[in-house]
Amino acid sequence: MRWRKLGVVYKPDASRTWAISHAMIPTPVLLNESVMRIYLSFRDRHSVGRPGYVDVVADDPLRVLRVSEKPLLDIGLPGTFDENGVLPTCVLEVSPGVKYMYYVGFELGTKIRYRMLTGLAMSRDNGETFLRVRQTPILERSDQELYFRCGPFVLCEGDLFKMWYVAGSNWTSIGDKEMPVYELKYLESVDGIEWGAVGQTCLHLHDSDEHGFGRPYVVRDDGIYKLFYSIRRRSLAAYRPGYAESVDGVSWRRLDDQLGLNVSAEGWDSEAVMYSAVITHKGKTYMFYNGNNFGETGFGVAMLEQ
């Protein structure tokens, strides 16, 4: 593959109190033939994330049409798993006008830095507003996946919902900071709401330099599952993009060197490339992604050329 970077699509301008900085984990959905909506998470002045969106021209994703004036969902009640942040990672249409928003709930810890579990909200107005399906996680902690069950991406194929997510129970010291360790897992569900307590590991860490994966994003093309994800490395202290293929969505062959996109020599994505998501419209395939510092520099887009 070869991608041509088109540039930054949007960076918050601090005009909204709930969206002072960052534009994290871009998740594209085609609203109609003219408009593409990018769901993501913005941060307030306390670095607490809430979900919103940026609408762009579907044929020219650098042209911003609209930015949400209010968050699509507020943080959770005090003491809940999403009391300190809501980060959408997948928006799935389950029936006409009805969408599921799978999200990461962020909870600060005392003896560990934080926990990240998966929540679900539903929209009945085609993604303009959302309500929680429940106040508790749909991926709750388990003995095997103790601190992290997050970053979900879901496809619905026939009567079956398939989820890829990251999970782990360990931390590792990198420099003077404790960092999470997690691998890629797989689960299935009949309704998209109730899931198992333990997923099947479908992508292992490759070597001792890797300690985690970012939000997976899966597309199916000509019978092949294609996985776009992020790789967190100790030596870089940052994410780099990864790519893998599978015939069943469970056993993956890593082809990271074939992705054809990496950090720039300078600028907004010179230190990291992460949280990539791809969408095809009218024969053109676009990749939306974050650059430096987890979306602090906004989110950008690249177009597939080969």
> What is the H or E stretch that residue 178 is in?
strand 177-189
Q: How many CA atoms lie within 13 A of 239 on its CB side?
A: 25
Question: CA end-to-end span of the chain, whole Å?
Answer: 5
Q: What is the pTM of this model?
A: 0.97
Residue ranges covered by each domain of the chain: 3-304
Q: Judge contact between 180 and 210, C-beta under 8 A.
A: no
CA angle 11, 16, 17 (to 5 degrees): 115
Q: Which residue in 65, 5, 8 sits closest to 37, CA to CA?
A: 65
What phi-psi label fits residue 144: left (phi over 0), alpha (psi between -120 and 50 degrees) or beta? alpha
Torsion on CA atoms 82, 86, 90, 96, rounded to nearest 10:
90
Q: Tell me the mean pLDDT per 10 residues along the chain, length 306.
A: 97 96 98 97 98 98 97 97 98 95 97 97 95 98 97 96 98 93 97 97 94 96 96 93 97 96 97 97 97 97 94
How far is residue 234's CA from residue 254's CA, in Å, rounded to a whole number? 19
Neighbouring CB atoms inside 10 A of 261's CB total: 21
How far is residue 160's CA from residue 262's CA, in Å, rounded to a whole number? 34
How far is residue 220's CA from residue 2's CA, in Å, rounded to a whole number? 19
Q: State residue 306's pLDDT score.
A: 76
* Eight-state DSSP code of residue 140: -
Distance of CA 138 to the CA centre of its chain: 17
* 103 bridge partner residues: 88, 119
DSSP, residue by residue, 23-72: EEEEEEEE-SSSEEEEEEEEE-TT--EEEEEEEEETTEEEEEEEE-SS-S
- Domain 3-304, CATH: 2.115.10.20
Handedness of CA 166, 169, 170, 176 (dihedral sign): positive
Question: C-alpha distances in angstroms, 42 versus 75, 175, 294?
Answer: 12, 28, 11
Q: Which residue in 183, 155, 151, 147 sits closest to 165, CA to CA?
A: 151
Q: State residue 45's pLDDT score.
A: 97
Q: State residue 241's pLDDT score.
A: 97
Q: Judge contact between 92 and 156, C-beta under 8 A.
A: yes
Name the burial class of residue 122, with classes exposed (0-12), middle (13-18) and buried (19+) by CB atoms within 10 angstroms of its CB: middle
Q: State residue 237's pLDDT score.
A: 87
